C-alpha cells in the first residue's frame, strides 16, 4: 500500500500480514469540533476495563492486538483509566489530546474490501467498499432497534424473538459446544425458523412477537428495545446457530440466526450474556475485536459541509461482519425504529473518516 509521506512528521509503520497499517503521527490533523460526551465515554471505558481486568484469560479479545506491534495490554488499560480522570468538556481540544496521547493513523485493508466487493451482488455495498479512500476507514453506523411488538402472536406480529431452545437453556456455552451435533440451535437456518420450525414444534420460548421486517433488522443490529406500558425492555443476542455472517449477502438472505435474552440495558462484547459490557451510543465502536483487541480507543475525524468534527469511542462490541475486516468500524448511534428514521437523523454523516488509534503516552 502506498502511503503519502506528508501526512505525518514521524513515521512508525507497523507492518501487517493483512494490508492494513497503523502509522504513528506526531501532529495528527484533528482540528474541529469535539462532539464527545465524556461522562458516557468514561462509563464505557470503565466497563470495558472491568471486563479486561476480570477476564484476562479471554485470549480472543483481551490482548494488545494481533495486528498492532509495539504496544501492550497494560498501556491499553492505562488509556481507558485515564478517560475517567478528567471529564471536563473544555479540556478536550486537539492540543490537549496530542499532549497526552500517541495517535496511530489507521490505513485500511483495501485489498480485503475490494475482494469482498467483487463477490457482493449488492450494488450499494459494492460501491461503498470499492470507494474506501487510501487513508480513511469505512465508518458504518449501527443502532439499537426500537420495536413495535406484541406479547402474543398476531397476524401482523407473527415472528418471535426466541430464547435459547429448551434443550440448551440449562447448558453453559462450553457444554453446548461439546454437544452441538444434538442441539436444536445448530440445526436450523434463519429461513427455517421464519417458516415456523421452532413454533410448530414448540422448541423454544418466544420472548416477544415482531413483524418479519423488524426481525431481520434486530438480527442485524443485535439489540431490540420495546416500550410496553411504562416499562422499557431490552433484548440482546445470546447465541447463534453457528453459521457465519456472509458479508456479500443482504440481511434477508443471511442464514445466520440469533437467539435472544432479555437484559437490563444495551450490551456489547462478552463471552457469556452475564459478562457482556454495558455500552452507550456515540462513544462505542464495534469492530474486529479478534485482531484489534478489546478496549482500543479510536478518534474519527470527518467533514460535514465546511466544518470538521471529531468523535471518540471505545472498541467494546463486535459482529460477524468484522471477521478478517480491517477496513471498517461500526459506530453506535442510538435507538431507531428502522432505516427511515435512522437515515433522517444521520444522513449528514459521511461514510468514511480519518481514524486514529489513541494510546496514552
Note whether 172 and 85 are same-domain residues.
Answer: no
Region 333-347: mean pLDDT is 90
The position carrying cell 476507514 is 137
Q: Has residue 115 been placed in a domain?
A: yes
Q: Has residue 335 been placed in a domain?
A: no
- Label residue 297 by pLDDT band (50, 70, 90): very high
Q: Has residue 337 been placed in a domain?
A: no
- Label residue 18 by pLDDT band (50, 70, 90): low
Note whether 232 and 261 are same-domain residues.
Answer: yes
- Label residue 16 by pLDDT band (50, 70, 90): very low
Instruction: State which of 230, 252, 275 marks the end of a domain.
Output: 275
* Least confident piece of the model among 56-70, 216-230, 310-324: 216-230
Note whether 15 and 121 are same-domain residues.
Answer: yes
- Label residue 89 by pLDDT band (50, 70, 90): low
Q: What is the CA radius of gyration of the chain?
A: 21
Q: Has residue 83 been placed in a domain?
A: yes
- Distance CA(184)–CA(198), nearest Å, equals 9
Note whether 124 and 22 are same-domain residues.
Answer: yes
Tell me what the pLDDT averaged over the chain comes to.
90
Coil, strand or helix at 235 = strand
- Distance CA(296)–CA(357), nearest Å, equals 7
- pLDDT, residue 87, reads 63
* Cell reading at 78: 492505562
HSE-CB for 37 with a 13 A CA cutoff: 11
> Has residue 129 got a pLDDT over 80?
yes
Note whether 271 and 285 are same-domain residues.
Answer: no
According to DSSP, the β-strands at 258-263 and 223-228 are unpaired
Note whether 31 and 47 are same-domain residues.
Answer: yes
Instruction: State which of 228, 248, 275 marks the end of a domain.
Output: 275
* Cell reading at 259: 437467539
Region 309-337: mean pLDDT is 94
> Has residue 239 got a pLDDT over 90?
yes
Burial of 317 (0-12, 13-18, 19+ CB in 10 A): buried
- Label residue 114 by pLDDT band (50, 70, 90): very high
Q: Has residue 122 been placed in a domain?
A: yes
> Has residue 194 got a pLDDT over 70?
yes
Note whether 125 and 189 are same-domain residues.
Answer: no
What would the pLDDT profile of 255-294 be if each residue is shown by its tens digit? Answer: 999 999 999 999 999 998 889 999 999 999 999 999 999 9
- Label residue 228 by pLDDT band (50, 70, 90): confident
Burial letters for 158-177: b for 16+ Cβ neighbours within 10 Å, e otherwise?
Answer: bbbbbbbbeebeebeeeebe
- pLDDT, residue 115, reads 94
- pLDDT, residue 12, reads 35
Instruction: Quote the crossing angle between the two packed helices 123-130 and 110-119, to the nearest 10°.
Output: 160
State how many domains the chain has. 2
| Between residues 16 and 177, the one the model is more confident about | 177
> Has residue 145 got a pLDDT over 90?
no
Note whether 286 and 270 are same-domain residues.
Answer: no
- Label residue 15 by pLDDT band (50, 70, 90): very low
Query: Which domain does 324 fall in, by range?
Result: 5-143+280-330+351-360
> Has residue 361 got a pLDDT over 60?
yes
- Distance CA(109)–CA(21), nearest Å, equals 8
- Distance CA(311)–CA(34), nearest Å, equals 6
Q: Has residue 312 been placed in a domain?
A: yes
Note whether 184 and 201 are same-domain residues.
Answer: yes
> Has residue 296 got a pLDDT over 50?
yes
Q: Has residue 53 been placed in a domain?
A: yes
CB atoms within 10 A of CB 262: 16
- pLDDT, residue 360, reads 95
CATH of the domain at 168: 2.40.240.50
**pTM attached to this predicted model:** 0.82
Note whether 174 and 107 are same-domain residues.
Answer: no
- pLDDT, residue 181, reads 94
Note whether 269 and 289 are same-domain residues.
Answer: no
- pLDDT, residue 14, reads 37
Coil, strand or helix at 17 = coil
> Has residue 70 got a pLDDT over 90?
no
Note whether 15 and 139 are same-domain residues.
Answer: yes
Amino acid at each position: 500500500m502506498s502511503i503519502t509521506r506528508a501526512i505525518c512528521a514521524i513515521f512508525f509503520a507497523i507492518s501487517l500480514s493483512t494490508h492494513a497499517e497503523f502509522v504513528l503521527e506526531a501532529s495528527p490533523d484533528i482540528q474541529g469540533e469535539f462532539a464527545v460526551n465524556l461522562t458516557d465515554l468514561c462509563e464505557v471505558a470503565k466497563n470495558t476495563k472491568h471486563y479486561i481486568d476480570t477476564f484476562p484469560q479471554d485470549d480472543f479479545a483481551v490482548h494488545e492486538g494481533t495486528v498492532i506491534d509495539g504496544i501492550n495490554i497494560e498501556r491499553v488499560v492505562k488509556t481507558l483509566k485515564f478517560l475517567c480522570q478528567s471529564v471536563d468538556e473544555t479540556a478536550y481540544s486537539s492540543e490537549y489530546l496530542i499532549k497526552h496521547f500517541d495517535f496511530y493513523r489507521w490505513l485500511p485493508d483495501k485489498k480485503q474490501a475490494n475482494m469482498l466487493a467483487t463477490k457482493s451482488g449488492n450494488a450499494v455495498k459494492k460501491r461503498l467498499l470499492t470507494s474506501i479512500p487510501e487513508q480513511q476507514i469505512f465508518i458504518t453506523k449501527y443502532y439499537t432497534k426500537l420495536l413495535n411488538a406484541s406479547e402474543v402472536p398476531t397476524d401482523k406480529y407473527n415472528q418471535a424473538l426466541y430464547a435459547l431452545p429448551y434443550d440448551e437453556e440449562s447448558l453453559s456455552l462450553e457444554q453446548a459446544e461439546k454437544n452441538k451435533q444434538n442441539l436444536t440451535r445448530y440445526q436450523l437456518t434463519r429461513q427455517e425458523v421464519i417458516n415456523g420450525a421452532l413454533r410448530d414444534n414448540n422448541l423454544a420460548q418466544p420472548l416477544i412477537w415482531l413483524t418479519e421486517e423488524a426481525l431481520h433488522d434486530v438480527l442485524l443490529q443485535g439489540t431490540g428495545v420495546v416500550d410496553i406500558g411504562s416499562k422499557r425492555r431490552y433484548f440482546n443476542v445470546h447465541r447463534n446457530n453457528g453459521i457465519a455472517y456472509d458479508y456479500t449477502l443482504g440481511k434477508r438472505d443471511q442464514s445466520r440466526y440469533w437467539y435472544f435474552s432479555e437484559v437490563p440495558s444495551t450490551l456489547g462484547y462478552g463471552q457469556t450474556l452475564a459478562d457482556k459490557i454495558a455500552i452507550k451510543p456515540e462513544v462505542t465502536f464495534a469492530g474486529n475485536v479478534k485482531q484489534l483487541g478489546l478496549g482500543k480507543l479510536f478518534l474519527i475525524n470527518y467533514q460535514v459541509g465546511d466544518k470538521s468534527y471529531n468523535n471518540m469511542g471505545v472498541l467494546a462490541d463486535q459482529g460477524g461482519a468484522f471477521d478478517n475486516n480491517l477496513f471498517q468500524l461500526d459506530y453506535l448511534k442510538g435507538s431507531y425504529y428502522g432505516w427511515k428514521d435512522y437515515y433522517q437523523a444521520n444522513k449528514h454523516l459521511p461514510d468514511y473518516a480519518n481514524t486514529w488509534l489513541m494510546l496514552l503516552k
